């Protein structure tokens, strides 16, 4: 179990799996690994989709996996300073539930929020539907206590507004375990909005729905969330959870606006008006909290619903400029068709964060090669449209070989220098994020035996 | 065209000799005085691309912030950059790293920068980050550059997140109000300022919401005013709750950002000790990015707003002669170490 994460990429088996309960124990694990020249791989709940927590051997032998799941306490909640100190193994949704009495929450809400940990969110700079208005994890982390590669403990960032020196906190968040292991995290608490309206817009054409997304952004609206679900995925979700989506729609948009009641009413009316102009067949506003939760349940159950269509799926994660959504979605359909694959889209449309799912049956001979080829082309199409490799899943092992499509050898060299300042011996989660030999520009393919 | 402009900037910066990047000189004393021997260069100027529907703008770093804001306003947008003077440049305010006074609602300056194209110490053009509003591809060089005082690289062109100009934007002032209570009483106010006696509140958003929130302020005896107070020059940082203990007899005149923790005062506050591990990480980053120390010599982000930084040397700082050193001791030690072949 500890040789894989949710990506199903596997490379090496861990030599040792540690379950520390304190920072001192994490330090001891890291020092012991250094003494025996073993790489260290930090792991939260293992929900990562890019292979970031998959152990890869280096040095003299097998990797030491440090699992943070036993460091699962919320240490303090300070409502006035709007900050909570948590251990890295605290589950994302558990934190938000614990804050409910204060009418506060932790804003990043990845799809895996019922099981993913705050430490993992920090390592991956995780996103989620509500990051459109509230920002990804980096915007919600004030300070992190980190065990560095030499076993020392450093606090990066501070509860004060600014800290002298470089933004070490900013460098660490999203570094995918390559710069150290968090042992305590100060997260920013976000006040719950006094009013929320959740709307469902349905379309008979995917182009119209994608055009509506651009229209909403162009109208100067910043919804709390703006999600799109299309095609066969709507049918699958409906059959799975009966969320009340029109099963014959080509695409639906789930739009949430929040804030003070007066502005929320105006924002909802403005979204409806853009929707009608863009060809929405119906615009439905959830009448109560039950209906609202049901609409969200549909979105959040999407990946589970795929199992009704085919036994396997490969979930991609790229970002494109929001004005290019229509053409990139068309291109993705063409790519899937060329490779004789079914593609379904359920994604964070408001920030252009695509999540195409290539759906298949792994028992079919040759299908994996087609899935890989189609994935390559989807990444290429996203980059050509002015987009980026990943919006929230991270690079890990999965996208490492693509890094040179987005960054020059000099760009990668600069990233390698930053990593080396934290971990000169590449002991922390080696072989992740940067292609091998980033300092001289050569590339290494996905490790042998990788994926599915 | 853009490639030529950037190429010219790369050539200006060159590959050797001390060099300093000049913006509007509005925060020229922050982090120490620039070495007068350093050759001066300026970042290129101009707005490269503004696509309002994308909520981003690509702009060259030498562009004055006010010029950028005027251009964005045509499309009903703005960027949350501070504008300490009409001369302040986009690259300058990013390098200095001070957030806009509306940070309470919109977050810190570092969240504004999406992509940076900068010239490295060895004269290469480097891209960090990406042009989209969401991106986790690779390590976050953008956040590293914000507040780096140009000591890791010189910003040439950046992509910034824009926001819609709100329908309504109103400042209020009052003498009889507890500004700390307002943080919880209001929903996402854009700014709450306090000088130890009076409080100022900026409300922004939909007109209907601003009216509703303004009625709360009216109940506290606050009245609408033209704008915020002048901000004293020295900037320091506390936790939001620690602002309660601010004492004008120690700081002189001050204006505190309630809910944020930033203090603008006549007299800079002494900072808490920095752990040696953090100082060491700062040093290692500088050494990896600029091993010859040629970029903006004399400026040091550890010295922030010119305040002395005490460095806690529990494990012993290997640079400094004593176990407890001030920032200037440390800087001297670093300079001596460099001079020593």
Provide the ipTM. 0.95
More confident residue, B274 or A23: A23
A·B CB contacts under 8 A: 251
- Residue B302 has which token pair? 């550890």
Closest CB from B53, B133, B144 relative to A214? B53
Residue of chain B whose alpha carbon sits nearest to that of A164: B302
In the numeric block, the tokens 């220098």 are attached to A417
Task: Tell me the CATH architecture of domain A195-304.
Answer: 2-Layer Sandwich (3.30)
In total, chain A counts a number of residues equal to: 452
> Distance, in angstroms, between A298 CA and closest chain B CA?
24
Tell me the β-bridge partners of A141.
A187
Q: Which of B132, B188, B276 to mutate to test the interface with A (most CBs of A within 10 A)?
A: B132
> Distance, in angstroms, between B76 CA and closest chain A CA?
8
Q: What is the pLDDT of residue B327?
A: 43
CB < 8 Å to B211, chain A: 262
> Distance, in angstroms, between A168 CA and closest chain B CA?
7
The pLDDT-based confidence of B304 (bands split at 50, 70, 90) is: low
CB < 8 Å to A152, chain B: 277, 315
Cα atoms in the Cβ-side hemisphere of radius 13 Å centred on A166: 28
- Mean residue pLDDT across chain A: 93
- pLDDT for residue A201 is more than 50: yes
- Residue A122 has which token pair? 């920090």
Report the alpha-carbon distance of residue A247 to residue B148 in Å, rounded.
53
- Residue B193 has which token pair? 């300022």
Closest CB from B139, B180, B205 relative to A433? B139
Report the alpha-carbon distance of residue B163 to residue B56 in Å, rounded.
8
Report the alpha-carbon distance of residue A64 to residue A47 in Å, rounded.
19
DSSP state for residue A8 in the 8-state scheme: -
Q: With an 8 Å Cβ cutoff, are B137 and A406 in contact?
A: yes
CATH 3.40.50.2000 fits A310-384, yes or no: no
Q: Report pLDDT digits (tens) over B204-235.
A: 999 999 999 999 999 999 999 999 999 999 99
Q: With an 8 Å Cβ cutoff, are B278 and A153 in contact?
A: no
Q: What is the pLDDT of residue B1?
A: 63
Report the alpha-carbon distance of residue B235 to residue A161 in Å, rounded.
11
Q: Taking residues B11-19, report their average pLDDT.
A: 97
Q: What is the pLDDT of residue A64?
A: 96
In the numeric block, the tokens 């922390």 are attached to A428
Q: What is the pLDDT of residue B248?
A: 79
The pLDDT-based confidence of B336 (bands split at 50, 70, 90) is: very low
Q: Which of A215-224, A250-259, B305-314 has the lowest mean pLDDT?
A: B305-314
CB < 8 Å to B282, chain A: 165-166, 168
DSSP string over B74-143: HTTEE-----SSTT-BHHHHHHH-PPPTTHHHH--GGGTEEEEEEE-TTS-EEEEE-SSSS--SS--HHH
Q: With an 8 Å Cβ cutoff, are B124 and A159 in contact?
A: no
Strand ranges for B130-278 from DSSP E: 154-161, 163-164, 168-174, 191-194, 199-205, 223-225, 234-237, 254-257, 262-265, 274-275
- pLDDT for residue A439 is more than 70: no
> Distance, in angstroms, between B36 CA and closest chain A CA?
22
Sheet holding B234-237, edge to edge: B223-225, B168-174, B199-205, B191-194, B254-257, B262-265, B234-237
Residue B166 backbone zone (phi > 0: left; psi -120 to 50: alpha; other: beta): beta
Enclosing H/E stretch for A66: strand A64-67
Q: What is the pLDDT of residue B2?
A: 72
Residue of chain A whose alpha carbon sits nearest to that of B97: A162
Q: Report pTM.
A: 0.93
CB < 8 Å to B143, chain A: 138, 167, 170-171
In the numeric block, the tokens 């506050």 are attached to B269
- Residue A4 has which token pair? 């894989």
| Distances A284 to A218, B311, B312 between C-alpha atoms, Å | 22, 59, 59
Nearest C-alpha neighbor of A434 from the set A449, A450, A406, A451 = A406
Tell me the β-bridge partners of B324.
B312
Closest CB from B132, B136, B211 relative to A321? B132
- Residue B146 has which token pair? 């914000």
Q: What is the pLDDT of residue A19?
A: 98
DSSP string over A156-211: EE-SSS--SSS-HHHHHTTSTTSS-EEEEEEEEPEEPPSEEEEEEEEES-HHHHHH
In the numeric block, the tokens 């400026």 are attached to B299
Degrees to nearest 5, angle at CA A163 with A161 and A165: 150
- pLDDT for residue B311 is more than 50: no
> Distance, in angstroms, between B4 CA and closest chain A CA?
18
Q: What is the pLDDT of residue B3?
A: 82
Cα A67 to the center of its chain, rounded Å: 20
| Distances A437 to A43, A191, A388 between C-alpha atoms, Å | 25, 45, 22
Residue B74, C-beta contacts closer than 8 angstroms, at least 6 positions apart? none
- Mean residue pLDDT across chain B: 89
- pLDDT for residue B289 is more than 60: yes
Q: With an 8 Å Cβ cutoff, are B111 and A168 in contact?
A: no
How many helices and strands (H and E) does chain A possess? 14, 19
- pLDDT for residue A449 is more than 50: no
Degrees to nearest 5, angle at CA B325 with B319 and B328: 85
Q: Report pLDDT digits (tens) over A351-376.
A: 999 999 999 999 999 999 999 999 99
Nearest C-alpha neighbor of A251 from the set A239, A265, A227, A234 = A234
User: Class of the A74-191 domain?
Assistant: alpha beta
Closest CB from B239, B287, B309 relative to A164? B309
Q: Taking residues A83-99, report their average pLDDT.
A: 98
How does B101-112 read in b/e, with b if 16+ C-beta sit within 10 Å?
A: bbbbbbbbbbbb
Q: What is the pLDDT of residue B69?
A: 98
- pLDDT for residue B312 is more than 60: no
DSSP state for residue A37 in the 8-state scheme: T
**Contact criterion met (CB below 8 Å) for A44 and A68:** yes
Q: What is the pLDDT of residue A142?
A: 98
Largest CA distance in chain B: 68
Report the alpha-carbon distance of residue B237 to residue B156 in Å, rounded.
29
Pairing of strands A181-188, A225-230: unpaired
> Distance, in angstroms, between B321 CA and closest chain A CA?
21
- pLDDT for residue B318 is more than 50: no
Closest CB from B54, B261, B302 relative to A321? B54
Other Cβ atoms within 10 Å of B246 Cβ, number: 17
- Residue A349 has which token pair? 């449309």
Nearest C-alpha neighbor of A254 from the set A346, A358, A333 = A346
Q: Taking residues A150-155, report their average pLDDT.
A: 97
Listed by start position, the domains of chain A span: 16-67, 74-191, 195-304, 310-384
- pLDDT for residue B103 is more than 70: yes
Q: Taking residues B95-122, report their average pLDDT.
A: 97
**Contact criterion met (CB below 8 Å) for B73 and B165:** yes
In the numeric block, the tokens 């130890």 are attached to B196
Cα B246 to the center of its chain, rounded Å: 22
Nearest C-alpha neighbor of A296 from the set A428, A128, A433, A435 = A128
- pLDDT for residue A251 is more than 90: yes
Q: Taking residues A42-71, report their average pLDDT.
A: 92
Cα B132 to the center of its chain, rounded Å: 22
Q: Which of B107, B138, B141, B210 to mutate to test the interface with A (most CBs of A within 10 A)?
A: B138
Residue A316 backbone zone (phi > 0: left; psi -120 to 50: alpha; other: beta): beta
Share of chain B above pLDDT 90, in %: 81
Q: Report pLDDT digits (tens) over A5-48.
A: 998 788 999 999 999 999 999 999 999 999 999 999 999 999 99
Q: What is the pLDDT of residue B225?
A: 98
Rg of chain A in Å (alpha carbons)? 22
Nearest C-alpha neighbor of B229 from the set B246, B212, B254 = B254
Residue of chain A whose alpha carbon sits nearest to that of B283: A421
Q: With an 8 Å Cβ cutoff, are A260 and B110 in contact?
A: no
Q: Report pLDDT digits (tens) over B140-170.
A: 999 999 999 999 999 999 999 999 999 999 9
Closest CB from A139, A161, A424 relative to B111? A139
Report the alpha-carbon distance of residue B21 to residue B11 in Å, rounded.
13
> Distance, in angstroms, between B33 CA and closest chain A CA?
16
DSSP state for residue A375 in the 8-state scheme: H
Report the alpha-carbon distance of residue B76 to residue B73 in Å, rounded.
5
- pLDDT for residue B172 is more than 70: yes
């Amino acid at each position: 179990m500890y040789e894989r994460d949710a990506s199903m990429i596997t490379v090496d088996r861990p030599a040792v799996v540690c379950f520390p309960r304190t920072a001192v124990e994490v330090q001891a694990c890291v020092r012991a690994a250094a003494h025996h020249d073993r790489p260290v791989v930090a792991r939260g709940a293992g929900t990562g989709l890019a292979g970031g927590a998959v152990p890869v051997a280096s040095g003299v032998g097998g990797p030491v996996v440090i699992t943070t799941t036993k460091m699962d306490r919320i240490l303090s909640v300070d409502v006035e300073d709007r900050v909570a100190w948590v251990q890295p193994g605290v589950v994302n949704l558990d934190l938000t539930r614990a804050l409910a009495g204060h009418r506060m929450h932790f804003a990043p809400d990845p799809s895996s929020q019922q099981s993913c940990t705050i430490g993992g969110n920090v390592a991956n700079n995780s996103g989620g539907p509500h990051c459109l208005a509230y920002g990804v994890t980096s915007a919600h982390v004030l300070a992190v206590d980190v065990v560095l590669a030499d076993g020392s403990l450093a606090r990066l960032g501070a509860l004060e507004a600014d800290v002298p020196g470089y933004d070490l906190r900013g460098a660490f968040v999203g570094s995918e375990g390559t710069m150290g292991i968090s042992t305590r995290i100060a997260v920013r608490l976000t006040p719950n909005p006094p009013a929320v309206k959740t709307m469902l817009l349905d379309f008979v054409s995917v182009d119209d729905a994608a055009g509506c997304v651009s229209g909403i952004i162009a109208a100067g609206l910043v919804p709390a969330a703006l999600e799109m679900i299309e095609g066969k995925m709507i049918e699958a979700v409906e059959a799975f959870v009966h969320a009340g989506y029109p099963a014959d729609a080509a695409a639906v948009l789930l739009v949430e606006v929040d804030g003070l009641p007066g502005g929320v009413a105006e924002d909802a009316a403005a979204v409806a008006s853009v929707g009608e102009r863009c060809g929405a067949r119906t615009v439905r506003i959830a009448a109560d909290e039950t209906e609202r939760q049901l609409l969200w349940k549909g979105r959040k159950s999407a990946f589970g619903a795929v199992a009704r269509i085919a036994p396997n799926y490969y979930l991609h994660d790229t970002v494109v400029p929001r004005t290019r959504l229509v053409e990139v979605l068309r291109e993705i359909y063409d790519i899937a068709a060329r490779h004789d694959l079914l593609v379904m889209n359920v994604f964070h449309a408001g920030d252009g964060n695509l999540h195409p799912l290539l759906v298949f049956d792994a028992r079919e001979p040759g299908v994996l090669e087609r899935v890989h080829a189609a994935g390559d082309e989807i990444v290429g199409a996203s980059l050509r449209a002015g987009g980026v490799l990943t919006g929230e899943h991270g690079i890990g092992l999965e996208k490492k070989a693509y890094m040179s499509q987005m960054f020059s050898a000099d760009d990668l060299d600069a990233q390698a220098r930053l990593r080396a300042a934290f971990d000169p011996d590449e002991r922390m989660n080696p072989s992740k994020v940067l292609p091998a030999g980033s300092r001289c520009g050569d590339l290494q393919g996905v490790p042998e035996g990788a994926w599915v | 065209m853009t490639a030529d402009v950037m190429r010219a900037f790369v050539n200006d910066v060159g590959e050797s000799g001390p060099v300093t990047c000049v913006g509007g000189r509005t925060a020229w004393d922050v982090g120490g005085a620039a070495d007068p021997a350093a050759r001066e260069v300026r970042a290129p100027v101009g707005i490269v691309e503004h696509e309002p529907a994308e909520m981003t703008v690509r702009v060259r770093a030498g562009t004055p912030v006010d010029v950028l804001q005027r251009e964005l306003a045509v499309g009903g947008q703005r960027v949350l950059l501070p504008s300490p003077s009409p001369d302040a440049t986009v690259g300058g305010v990013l390098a200095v790293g001070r957030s806009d006074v509306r940070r309470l609602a919109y977050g810190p300056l570092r969240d504004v920068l999406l992509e940076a194209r900068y010239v490295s110490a060895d004269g290469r053009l480097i891209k960090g980050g990406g042009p989209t509003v969401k991106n986790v591809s690779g390590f976050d060089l953008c956040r590293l550059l914000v507040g780096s005082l140009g000591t890791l690289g010189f910003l040439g062109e950046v992509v910034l997140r824009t926001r819609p100009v709100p329908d309504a934007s109103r400042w209020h002032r009052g003498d009889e109000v507890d500004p700390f209570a307002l943080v919880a009483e209001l929903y996402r106010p854009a700014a709450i300022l306090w000088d130890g006696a009076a409080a100022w509140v900026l409300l922004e958003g939909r007109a209907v919401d601003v009216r509703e929130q303004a009625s709360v302020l009216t109940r506290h005896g606050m009245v609408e005013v033209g704008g915020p107070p002048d901000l004293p020059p020295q900037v320091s940082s506390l936790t939001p709750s620690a602002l309660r203990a601010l004492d004008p007899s120690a700081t002189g005149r001050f204006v505190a950002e309630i809910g944020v923790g930033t203090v603008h005062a006549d007299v800079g506050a002494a900072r808490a000790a920095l752990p040696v591990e953090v100082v060491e990480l700062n040093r290692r980053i500088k050494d990896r990015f600029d091993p010859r120390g040629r970029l903006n010599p004399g400026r040091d982000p550890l010295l922030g707003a010119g305040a002395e930084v005490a460095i806690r040397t529990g494990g012993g700082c290997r640079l400094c002669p004593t176990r407890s050193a001030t920032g200037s001791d440390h800087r001297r030690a670093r300079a001596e170490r460099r001079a020593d072949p």
